[in-house]
Amino acid sequence: MPKPRGGQRPNYNSGQGGGSRFSALNDYQNDHDDRSNEGRKKERNTTRRVSFKPSALQSKGGIKGRVNELALRSRLEDDEDMDGLVTNLNYEDRSQGPRRKGSPVPKGKFGKGRKLSISQFGWYQVTIHCGQRYAKDDLIRALLHNLTPDVFLPLFWRTEKNCVVFFVDDYAMASRLMQLDRSVQMSDGCRLAIRVRESCPMVPVDEEFKEKMKIVMAKRYNPNTKALDLSKFHADPDFRQTFVGLHRTAVMSAALDIIQKNIPDLQALNLNDNDLSTMESFRNIETRLPHLKILYLGGNSIPSLATLLVFRNAPIIELVLKNNPLRQRYKDHSLYVSEVRRKFPKLVKLDGDDLEPQILFDVNDSSVMPKAQASFLCDASGADIIRQFLEQYFIIFDSDNRQPLLDAYHEQAMMSISVPPASQAGRLTSFWKYNRNFRRIVNNEDVSKLRQLKVGRLQVVSTLAEWPKTQHDPQSFSVDLTLFTPKLISFTVAGLFKEFESSTSTTGEIRYFQRQFVIVPAGGGFCIRNEMILVTSATGQQARTFLKPPVITEPAAGPATSLPPTAAGSLQSRLQMQQPSTSAAAGLMPQPTQPTQPDDATKMQMVQAMCSQSNMNIEWSRKCLEETNWDYNHAAFVFDKLHKEGKIPPEAFVK
């Protein structure tokens, strides 16, 4: 008969005999275990225990979380190292795993027991945490007091949000400063936390910086062999208290600009031991230094031969690449030589060793590709229309009042503006708010697409009126006429313009633009129906050519040169030179012997264009056009000729 529910349950843990299961089990184990109590206790203490308590790694996301934490900490501590600099931070004290709470700090791992790594460039960054609370003189005085009798000079001092940072260029002094961690006591009783690591200062590349570079480069140049030695450039004694590291792209670009301007016939360049890892500064080196034949790049950080592709068009005959990481990619020396010679077929000497002559096919190396044309015209009869349209348009666009552009746009005109990302083109603040780049508009936001699309000539001109003041360079224009019909013309114009900082400023940034127009007949002329605009930053090479005076050449005799002499590189010249040498095409252009007299409005536009191109004032620009019977092309030719001969008085350029 089963017992009724609710009765008293048996107590298995009670000390009463007979009913305890666990006490019976203990008795059984004690009867069959001949070990003493001390032996069992010793074994219990040495036996590995299994704990279900979450470890420090598990609480922070496991091994992956710990790795992410170390990577983030390394990134934060290295945020000052740029342009490929990597500092060797000592993290071996963390390889032992997380330290238990309450355990002592390992000796020789932190503070005074640490040893500073020797910097490759000889510079060290000193960070004083919470140092921003004290005056600079007080901090230096306290440090010098603890360094007596040694003295130091803090360089590139800067105060940040929660610390003070400066640099020293002496290893012994950097080590002394690191040993002062928690040893310097300020007047308020606080001890300074000082951290020292190898790092290089980011020195701005200004004119003073470039002048120092010129002095040192002049000292290292050998005019007899036309060779420039820039090995260990940062370690030159004349660069004391400043850091000139060629591994920084900006510094290397400045050095190449100095070479191109002062020694363009350079034949040998030594860049050994400069920690170079990228060759971005050497783009178009075959045009900047066309005579460069010997190049030393040993002792750098070049990762692969693909980095050297920028030199593939240079006439390199001797190359040094030893002591670079790329050498570790090739265990077979013959394979390494063949790969280098494949990229530099004219090479005769590699890493100091003469190479055997190559067996090559009999190919004519002197053949060159046809030169790229500045403009393209699908129909030569459209040249005159486009030239006149663009001249009138950009004269108004660069003026102080862009409202007259209302007459240049159709009533239902449409316009959009695109700007590349800041990572590609730098800061384009003045144009960013008009950006209709679809990669920037996410989730198919139709409202944003329509808002950035300007419809109607009033919206279009209002948007263009908000642009900063500009100055376009007609010499940089290239025009592609892709469609020419009686009812519709489509063409693209690209070039350079200067974006002024203000309406009264004369300085600004050089921009590159590309504008695609679709124009239709309207009344006695044409108006813009659709337009797409792209604005980006100009490259360094483009910026150097902005508003450069045109090179004028005398036209040669022959049927193909029946056109009037024009300024080479100008829009009008380029459009005319694209026309075939037929009598029909030649008849579209005005002849210098029988110029037509323009009306007053056209004369004013010609004067403004001459003033903009020649930099002469309005009075002398008008005088130049009047004396050439208002033939603009002939006036440009005469101006350039007299300007080269120095026959134009200085008052002609006073505005």
Task: Summarize pLDDT for 521-569 with one digit per residue, the tens.
Answer: 887 788 999 999 999 888 888 888 887 755 444 433 333 333 333 333 3
Domain boundary residue, one of 162, 181, 198: 198
pLDDT above 50 (res 84): no
Q: Are 392 and 443 in the same domain? A: yes
Please check whether residues 318 and 443 belong to one and the same domain: no
- Those residues with Cβ within 8 angstroms of residue 335's Cβ, 6 or more apart along the chain or in another chain: none
Q: Which of 198, 229, 253 is the last residue of a domain?
A: 198
The pair of three-digit structure tokens given for residue 441, joined into one six-digit string: 């508009």
381 and 442 part of one domain: yes
Task: Tell me the CB-side half-sphere exposure of residue 150, using CA atoms within 13 A.
Answer: 12
In Å, how far from its chain's centre is CA 27? Answer: 82
CATH of the domain at 642: 1.10.8.10
More confidently predicted of 83 and 408: 408
Position 72 scores a pLDDT of 58
* Residues in Cβ contact with 250 at an 8 Å cutoff, skipping those fewer than 6 apart: 205
Looking at per-residue pLDDT, the higher value among 491 and 631 belongs to 491
In a domain, 86, yes or no: yes
For residues 352 and 323, give the distance between their C-alpha atoms in angstroms, rounded to a whole number. 13
Query: Residue 35 has what pLDDT?
Result: 54
User: Beta strand 489-500 with 508-522: parallel, antiparallel or unpaired?
Assistant: antiparallel
Is residue 102 in some structural domain? no
Q: H or E element: which one contains 64?
A: helix 62-77
- What CATH number does the domain containing 297 carry? 3.80.10.10
For residue 495, the model assigns a pLDDT of 92
**Is the pLDDT at 651 greater than 70, yes or no?**
yes
Same domain, 186 and 213: no
Kindly report the pTM of this predicted structure.
0.44
Do 273 and 414 lie in one domain? The reply is no
In a domain, 99, yes or no: no
Domain's final residue, options 324, 354, 384: 354
**138 domain-assigned:** yes
pLDDT at position 517: 94
Output the six-digit token pair for 142.
């306290």
Find out whether the peptide bond into 204 is cis, omega within 30 degrees of 0: no
Check residue 429 and give its pLDDT.
Answer: 76
| pLDDT digit string, tens, across residues 34-69 | 555 555 555 555 555 554 445 544 444 555 555 566
Q: What is the tally of structural domains in the chain?
A: 4
Task: Indicate whether 480 pLDDT > 80.
Answer: yes
Q: Residue 122 sits in a domain of what CATH number?
A: 3.30.70.330
Distances in Å between the Cα of 297 and the Cα atoms of 236, 269, 279, 318, 335 are 18, 9, 11, 11, 19
pLDDT score recorded for residue 63 = 54
Q: Please give the pLDDT value at position 97.
A: 52
CA angle 64/69/73 to nearest 5° reads: 150
Whether the per-residue pLDDT at 361 is higher than 60: the answer is no
Q: What is the DSSP letter of 180?
A: T
Assess if residue 364 is contained within a domain.
no
Residue 239 and residue 554: Cα distance in Å, rounded? 50
For residue 467, what is the domain's CATH number?
3.10.450.50
% of the chain exceeding 90 in pLDDT: 12
- Residues 395 and 342 placed together within one structural domain of the fold: no
User: Is residue 460 in a domain?
Assistant: yes
Q: Which amino acid is at 281?
A: S
Q: Are residues 386 and 530 in the same domain?
A: yes
Residue 189 lies inside a defined structural domain of this protein: yes
Given the structure tokens 């139709």, which residue do they identify?
Answer: 446
Q: Is 206 left (phi over 0), alpha (psi -120 to 50) or beta?
A: beta
Average pLDDT along the chain: 75
Q: Residue 600's pLDDT is what?
A: 76
Of the ranges 67-71, 74-78, 183-187, the best mean pLDDT one: 183-187
Residue environment code for 84-121, b if the CB has 16+ CB neighbours within 10 A, otherwise e? ebebeeeeeeeeeeeeeeeeeeeeeeeeeebebeebbb
pLDDT at 439: 59
The answer to the question of residue 174 being in a domain is yes
Domain that holds residue 434: 376-551
Cα Rg, the chain, nearest whole Å: 38
Alpha-carbon distance 337 to 237, whole Å?
Answer: 37
Residues 256 and 382 grouped into a single domain: no
Considering the domain architecture, whether residues 433 and 523 belong to the same structural domain is answered as yes
Amino acid making up residue 225: T
Q: Is the pLDDT of residue 89 over 50?
A: no
Beta bridge partners of 155: 167
Q: Are residues 180 and 231 in the same domain?
A: no
Tell me the C-alpha distance between 47 and 461, whole Å.
85
pLDDT above 50 for 586: no
Q: What is the mean pLDDT of residues 590-616?
A: 70
Mean pLDDT computed over 292-318: 90
- pLDDT, one tens digit per residue, over 404-452 is 898 899 999 999 988 887 665 566 777 877 787 665 555 555 555 556 7
Q: Do 394 and 313 belong together in one domain? A: no
> Rounded to whole angstroms, how far apart are CA atoms 199 and 165?
11
- Residue 595 has a pLDDT of 43
d(CA 119, CA 237): 17
**Quick one: 217 and 281 in the same domain?**
yes
**So what's the pLDDT on residue 80?**
45
